[in-house]
Structure 1
Amino acid sequence: MVASKIFDLRDSSETGDDLAIPDMMFMQGEEPLGVRVLTYQSSRAINFILNALHEDEVEAIRASAFGKLVEIAEKHAFSGRFTRYLLSRQLKVNKKHEVWFWFAGSPIRFSLREFAIVTWLPCGKYPKKLKLKMKENLNEKPYWSTLFVKVEVVSVKSAVKMLRKKMMQDTNIRIKIVCLVLLSSVLLSTNLNIKIMREHAEAIEDIDEFFWFPWGRMAIDMLMSSIKERDKIALSQKSIAVKGFVLAIHLVVVESVPSLTEVVVEHCSSSESDSDVDADECRQKLENNTHTQPQTCSPC
């Protein structure tokens, strides 16, 4: 069965016209035959990051608000082709935090609620002061220097390199750095040269408060905006790039249809899972054309 209780439109308690299934973005049988969806992260990003840690450090992440990411790295593979299939079968939904996909004869919802269920991330309302807490006293030493000493700009790649080479020994510092890396490159990935943000580094000084912040809501805001800004013309391109934690879409569908895990892994081509260089080149072309007329990126 495709639809489960939390995903089935027909499970809604609403009545009347609200129960009507929205129209498809593309007529059945007329969906574009695109190549795949590209994300601004390696298909093996989470494992690559976690492999730079000691076992006890991985377990510390597993026990945190980011713990589901460890489980995701162990169990799921990303297929850009499958994501492309789903995005081409969207229903017309105007809600900010909600999209629907028509899959195997049933509608499946992907919304803030489902995102929270599959990621375990805090997805509550933003605090009244939206900006992350920064230093109140301008003369106070920035926490950035505690994490990265005198390095002024730190990319995700260089941060992982620091962890791998054990350039910092303090376990608490290492855990904080990997959380910043996961946040920037997995949950909030926006480009190919992702850098650690200073406001995130300042916020993680109090790691409990950092984990309390609704990163899940911020992540789905980014992902939904990236999905919804792509109209029928954009979705008709052979390859499209989507920002944010796109893998969450897979997690929701697999939660509804567990047997899909084997199917997706079996049909995920080696070029999708292993050829990150080609994928990066394709993403770069799409990124360069963001503010120009839609163009078709050559298949990766």
Structure 2
Amino acid sequence: MVSSRIVDYHEDLVEEPEVELPQMVFADGEEPVGVRVLTYQSSRAINTILNALNEAEIQYLRESSFGKLIEIAEKPAFSGRFARYLLSRQLKVEKKHEAWFRFAGNPIRFSLREFAIVTGLPCGEIPKKQKMKKKNINEKPYWPELFGSMEEMRVSQAVKMLRKKTVTDPDIRMKLACLAIVSSVLLSTNLKMKMLKEYAELLGDIEEFLSFPWGRIAFDMLMTSIKKRDEISLSQDTIALKGFALALQLVIVEAVPALTEVVQDACSSSESESDDDEIESPVSKARRKTLNPAHAREVDRKSEVNIIFN
């Protein structure tokens, strides 16, 4: 974990402690009782990709900018019910790139800074040359180098190629794994989970691919999905979020470690899962642990709960 505060109070609150917190989107006690948050990223996606790799390949990822994602695979899975509860605890803030949540009587910020800390992903400015619109007329597209004449490729197919060692070239294997992580974990937007063709061109240089600001892109996608929700849409039983929604849970858990004192088996009937079961290998279907929503509510009611600010 980066040696930095994972949680910040609002600047105004630091300078003037007497200032009241911003209003909550829903008054205390009047939060809608929804079912869950759906995310297109399967909680097993990271493990499924790792299960298709050998130890040397996994170690390569551990030492790359995707290293924290390997650690995340061992943490509690995304809880759609907890995320649904959390979204109902939002504070009204106007900043486009920040969301604030009231938990255990304290404001907890979710911004690019916190996202970068819990994911370890590069979050710098997106290079202008990577607009992916203008290309050298003589430059050959890289997609055919990976998939030949196929115009599209499901993540499940690519993972199967890795697992069955249909692809043996070490360089190509790592490139497929990295693109699968981006496509099914960080930037997932639908249940089909296709390999993102527009980003395949970066794989000509895998080091360039790994240093690309995936964190900023993933954060912007998730934050846009959160911010577009008004009181009416937040009152729906089920809410869908695009992008790496697990990052929001990771930030809250880092701030409130007590949340992990009680966990339960993840269950697709109550927790968000992709319906793309094809991506799952037989060995990856073991149940993962996830947060217990009832315990989370109990922790939220305890104002004396330990919130980590330093």
Same fold at TM > 0.5:
yes
Residue 259 of structure 1 aligns to a residue whose secondary structure is helix
Offset of 1:54 from its aligned partner?
Answer: 1.2
Deviates most, 10-19 or 250-259: 10-19
**Does the 8 A contact of 2:225 with 2:242 survive in 1?**
yes
- The residue aligned with 1:29 is 29
In 2, Cα distance between equivalents of 1:167 and 1:5: 45
Q: Which amino acid aligns with 1:217?
A: R
Cα distance in 2 between the residues matched to 1:10 and 1:272: 33
What code does the residue aligned with 1:90 have?
Q
State which drifts further: 265-274 or 29-38. Answer: 265-274
- What is the Cα deviation at residue 184 of structure 1? 1.0
Change over 3 Å in CA distance of 1:19–1:248 after alignment to 2: farther
Given that residues 101 and 107 in structure 2 are in contact (C-alpha distance below 8 angstroms), is that contact kept between their aligned partners in structure 1? yes
Question: Matched residue of 2:32: which SS?
Answer: coil
**1:111 corresponding residue in structure 2:** 111
Tell me what 1:271 maps to.
269
What are the within-5 Å matches in structure 2 for residues 136-147 of structure 1? 136-138=136-138, 140-147=139-146
Partner Cα separation in structure 2 for residue 244 and residue 98 of structure 1: 16
Identical aligned pairs, as a percentage?
A: 62
Give 1:190 shift.
0.5
Paired positions, count: 274
Query: Does structure 2 retain, via aligned residues, the 8 Å contact 1:134–1:203?
Result: no
* Higher RCO (CA-CA < 8 Å; seq separation 6+): 2
- Comparing 232-241 with 5-14, greater Cα deviation is found at 5-14
- CA drift at 1:69: 0.8
**Residue 156 of structure 1 corresponds to which residue in structure 2?**
155
SS in 2 for 1:151: coil
Rounded Cα–Cα distance in structure 1 between residues aligned with 2:261 and 2:16: 39
Cα RMSD (Å): 2.6
1:65 aligned residue: 65
Instruction: Summarize the Cα distance change of 1:17–1:242 in structure 2 as closer, same or farther, 3 Å threshold.
Output: same
Q: Relative to structure 1, is the Cα distance of residues 164 and 217 closer, same or farther in structure 2, using a 3 angstrom cutoff? A: same
Contact map agreement 1:159 1:181 (CA 8 A) in 2: yes
Matched residues in 1 for 2:165 and 2:61: separation? 17
For 1:271, what is the secondary structure of its paired residue?
coil
Instruction: Provide the C-alpha distance between the structure 2 equivalents of 1:17 and 1:134, rounded to a whole number of angstroms.
Output: 50
- Change in CA separation of 1:177 and 1:252 when aligned onto 2, cut-off 3 Å: same
Unaligned runs of 5+ in 1: 280-300
Where 1:101 maps in the other structure, the secondary structure is strand
Q: CA deviation at 1:176?
A: 0.8
8 Å Cα contact 1:184-1:195 kept in structure 2: yes
- Unaligned runs of 5+ residues in structure 2 are 278-310
Q: Distance in 2 between matches of 1:166 and 1:16?
A: 60
How far the C-alpha of 1:271 sits from its partner, in A, is 2.7
2:65 alignment partner AA? A
Structure 1 residue 196, shift from structure 2 partner: 1.7
- Which residue in the other structure is 2:253 paired with? 254
Output the amino acid matched with 1:222. Answer: M
Is structure 2 residue 216 aligned with structure 1 residue 212? no
Shift of residue 278 of structure 1?
Answer: 11
Counterpart-to-counterpart distance in 1, 2:156 and 2:267: 26
Pair 1:32–1:21, CA change in 2 (3 A): same
> How far is the alpha carbon of 1:61 from its aligned partner?
1.1
Query: Compared with structure 1, are the counterparts of its residues 278 and 196 closer, same or farther at alpha carbon in structure 2 (3 Å cutoff)?
Result: closer
2: CA distance, partners of 1:257 / 1:137: 52
Residues 221-240 of structure 1 mapped to structure 2, 5 A cutoff: 221-240=220-239
TM-score normalised according to structure 1 size? 0.83
Do structure 1's residue 51 and structure 2's residue 51 form an aligned pair? yes
> Residues of 1 paired with 2:130 and 2:12: CA distance?
32
2:307 maps to: none
Distance 1:135 1:129 in 2: 9
Q: Does the C-alpha gap of structure 1 residues 113 and 18 become closer, same or farther in structure 2, counting only changes over 3 Å?
A: farther
Q: Give the alignment's TM-score, normalised by structure 2.
A: 0.81
User: Aligned AA for 2:161?
Assistant: M
In the other structure, the counterpart of 2:172 is 173
Q: How far did residue 42 of structure 1 move? A: 1.7
Equivalent position SS for 1:272: coil
Task: Compute the displacement of 1:143 (Å).
Answer: 1.7
